[in-house]
A and B are shown apart, each in its own frame.
Chain A
């Protein structure tokens, strides 16, 4: 645990010295607040929580991209093998990836809330405990997915291809960009099988409808399960050496990380309330414009 914390601290320092990280993990998410709440929401106070939920989800989902690229870069440059001859295990290395990512994401999330509150008149925080749980589990889950991608890809090119595919899937099918109720029925059904949807709808539920933590239990449970499974698999598949290729069987193991969402997707399709909740929250976005009279 001590080694994981040491690595976390140094990785946080390295992150703030990295211009790409500053841009993609801090500046861009904050710009999205202005884009979503200012341009798309056109200052409508009622729409602010709904749109902010999307921005938060996009901020959190970005974790997987940054972490997978960083880990593959470290492996390709031979940085990981230098750590390998020291008494540092794969668990400490991976845990530090997740923890540093979480601690670096939190300030951005807090700033997003502050901007929404101070500039776009976000009037209510929503269910704070629910938000904290979703932000935490969401960041850990998407970071762990990034670690799996790094584990199953052999080159940076492969990593970027998989990242692109997943990213566009997360963007288009989760409700983060196009509201879920606007999608055709079959796409809404498909969306129920991927983690990003549960993060987006969970955040919408606690921020718009202020539902209790119990009401988002399925979302929290699926994110926690996915994070746990993804972390365990990435620890098993972790490779220190640049030349070490991953066997095909390992890629199948990696696929088990999506099992919680397959189960949840099936359950959601038959008994779930996610789609109904998403529709209800979407109505807040559709409400007539109420702008700040002082503005």
Chain B
């Protein structure tokens, strides 16, 4: 048995300029139906511009986009009936009640979900009579998510859904996205949080300076990078400069405050070689930590910068 999948979002060679700033320089990717696709990149990389073009909020200067087979710029209400969106910078009137907001937006769609059910699902039942201004940041974001689902959309855009939220609220949002994932909703998510992309996304496109510089599953991206696992060592005695860099599989070695950080492409060989070396030198390990490469390492390797630089 096999499943035929098709791209529900297609982006080809997308360009966008704001005055002197070239925000997008030919972004291309495709999102399959039912997957969570992440755009990962630092602030100003072009993630929001891409998503807002896909939501129909901004026109592109060049390239082609298609969502559910429709052009967001020209398909009008037919397009809007099919999408849900959590925008990055948006708000509701201070004095609108939670249930009013949900009901008003539900009334705009030809088909909509039961709003009482959505309030319950998003833990807003007790707050249904509260004004928007009385909600916490997390509650506002949960309301935004509930509103994005009110029309039972085929595609959901989540633009930095957890930005500025505390870790606990962030985890709540992750749980909600994971539930949606189980429902086979197609989600396009932008983020600059590594944990978010690795935990939630089936596929990730790493965006930097208006270009997609790598894309694949989180595992593929990490394996496709030089496979550089990070090995952190503490030794009984200092090692001479460059000695550890010669160990098997070591790509580079950094020493700082008595801590040696090795990046290895072949961890088992490096460890064996390290043990032999220390025995020969009469030195001893006082600490060892091995961490797998993260998407942060992939980004660092591709751009020479950290995601939050």
User: Taking beta carbons and an 8 Å cutoff, which residues of A are in contact with B?
Assistant: 2-3, 6-7, 10, 13-14, 17-18, 74, 77-79, 81-82, 84-88, 240-242
Q: A10-B100, A84-B57, A241-B57 are in contact. Are A78 and B107 (CB under 8 A)?
A: no
Q: A10-B100, A14-B96, A87-B80 are in contact. Are A77 and B109 (CB under 8 A)?
A: no
Q: Is the CB of B90 within 8 A of A79?
A: yes
Q: Which single residue of chain A is at the shortest CB-CB distance from B78?
A: A87
Q: Is the CB of B108 within 8 A of A81?
A: no
Q: Is the CB of A13 within 8 A of B57?
A: no
Q: For the complex, is B87 an interface residue (Cβ under 8 Å from A)?
A: yes
Name the distance in Å between A25's Cβ and chain B's nearest Cβ.
15
Choose one: B76, B91, B100, B131; the contact of A82 (CB below 8 Å): B91
CB-CB < 8 A to A10: which residues of B? 96, 100, 104
CB-CB < 8 A to B90: which residues of A? 78-79, 81-82
Q: How far is the CA of A14 from the CA of B97 in the complex (A)?
A: 9
Q: How far is the CA of A272 from the CA of B87 in the complex (A)?
A: 55
Q: Which single residue of chain A is at the shortest CB-CB distance from B88?
A: A78
Q: How far is the CA of A18 from the CA of B87 in the complex (A)?
A: 26
Name the distance in Å between B85's Cβ and chain A's nearest Cβ.
5
Q: A6-B107, A85-B56 are in contact. Are A77 and B91 (CB under 8 A)?
A: yes
CB-CB < 8 A to A77: which residues of B? 91
Q: How far is the CA of A241 from the CA of B59 in the complex (A)?
A: 13
Q: Is the CB of A86 within 8 A of B105?
A: yes
B 53-79 to A, binary, CB cutoff 8 A, 1 in contact else 0: 001110000000000000000001100
Q: Is the CB of A88 within 8 A of B108?
A: yes
Instruction: Apart from A10-B100, A10-B104, list 6 A-B contacts with CB within 8 A.
Output: A7-B104, A17-B95, A18-B95, A77-B91, A79-B91, A241-B57
Name the distance in Å between A102's Cβ and chain B's nearest Cβ.
20
Q: Is the CB of B91 within 8 A of A14?
A: no
Q: Is the interface of B mostly helix, strand, loop or mixed?
A: loop
Interface size class of B (residues with CB under 8 A): 20 to 34
Q: Which single residue of chain B is at the shortest CB-CB distance from A82?
A: B90
Q: Which single residue of chain B is at the shortest CB-CB distance from A5?
A: B107
Q: Is the CB of B87 within 8 A of A85?
A: yes
Q: Which single residue of chain B is at the shortest CB-CB distance from A92?
A: B108
Name the distance in Å between B43's Cβ and chain A's nearest Cβ.
16
A14, A17, A87 interface centre (most CB from chain B within 10 Å): A87
Name the distance in Å between B90's Cβ and chain A's nearest Cβ.
4
Name the distance in Å between A22's Cβ and chain B's nearest Cβ.
12
Choose one: A2, A18, A74, A85; the contact of B85 (CB below 8 Å): A85
Q: Is the CB of A86 within 8 A of B108?
A: yes
How many inter-chain residue pairs (CB < 8 Å) link A and B?
58
Q: Is the CB of B87 within 8 A of A87?
A: no
CB-CB < 8 A to A81: which residues of B? 57, 87, 89-90
Q: Which single residue of chain B is at the shortest CB-CB distance from A240?
A: B57
Q: List 14 A-B contacts (CB under 8 A).
A: A3-B108, A6-B104, A6-B107, A13-B100, A18-B95, A82-B87, A82-B91, A85-B55, A85-B80, A85-B83, A85-B87, A87-B76, A87-B81, A241-B57
Q: Is the CB of A85 within 8 A of B91?
A: no
Choose one: A6, A14, A240, A241; the contact of B108 (CB below 8 Å): A6
Name the distance in Å between B54's Cβ and chain A's nearest Cβ.
11
CB-CB < 8 A to B108: which residues of A? 3, 6, 86-88
Name the distance in Å between B61's Cβ and chain A's nearest Cβ.
16
CB-CB < 8 A to B93: which residues of A? 14, 74, 79
The 4 closest A-B pairs by CB, nearest first: A87-B77, A17-B95, A78-B90, A87-B80
Q: For the complex, is B92 an interface residue (Cβ under 8 Å from A)?
A: yes
Q: How far is the CA of A78 from the CA of B57 in the complex (A)?
A: 12
Q: Is the CB of B92 within 8 A of A82?
A: yes
A3, A79, A85 interface centre (most CB from chain B within 10 Å): A85
Q: Is the CB of A14 within 8 A of B95?
A: yes
Q: Is the CB of A85 within 8 A of B57?
A: yes
Name the distance in Å between B198's Cβ and chain A's nearest Cβ.
28
Q: Is the CB of A78 within 8 A of B91?
A: yes
Q: How far is the CA of A17 from the CA of B100 in the complex (A)?
A: 14
Q: A6-B104, A10-B100, A78-B87 are in contact. Are A87 and B92 (CB under 8 A)?
A: no
Q: Which single residue of chain B is at the shortest CB-CB distance from A18?
A: B95
Q: How far is the CA of A236 from the CA of B224 in the complex (A)?
A: 51
Q: Which single residue of chain A is at the shortest CB-CB distance from B97?
A: A13
Name the distance in Å between A131's Cβ and chain B's nearest Cβ.
32
Name the distance in Å between A89's Cβ and chain B's nearest Cβ.
8
Q: Which single residue of chain A is at the shortest CB-CB distance from B101?
A: A10
- In chain B between 110 and 144, which residues have their CB closer than 8 angstroms to a CB of chain A? 131
Q: How far is the CA of A242 from the CA of B90 in the complex (A)?
A: 10
Q: How far is the CA of A14 from the CA of B95 in the complex (A)?
A: 6
Q: Which single residue of chain B is at the shortest CB-CB distance from A78?
A: B90
CB-CB < 8 A to B55: which residues of A? 85
Q: Is the CB of A86 within 8 A of B57?
A: no
Q: Is the CB of A87 within 8 A of B95?
A: no
CB-CB < 8 A to B105: which residues of A? 86
Choose one: A17, A78, A87, A241; the contact of B109 (CB below 8 Å): A87
Q: How far is the CA of A144 from the CA of B108 in the complex (A)?
A: 24
CB-CB < 8 A to A84: which residues of B? 57
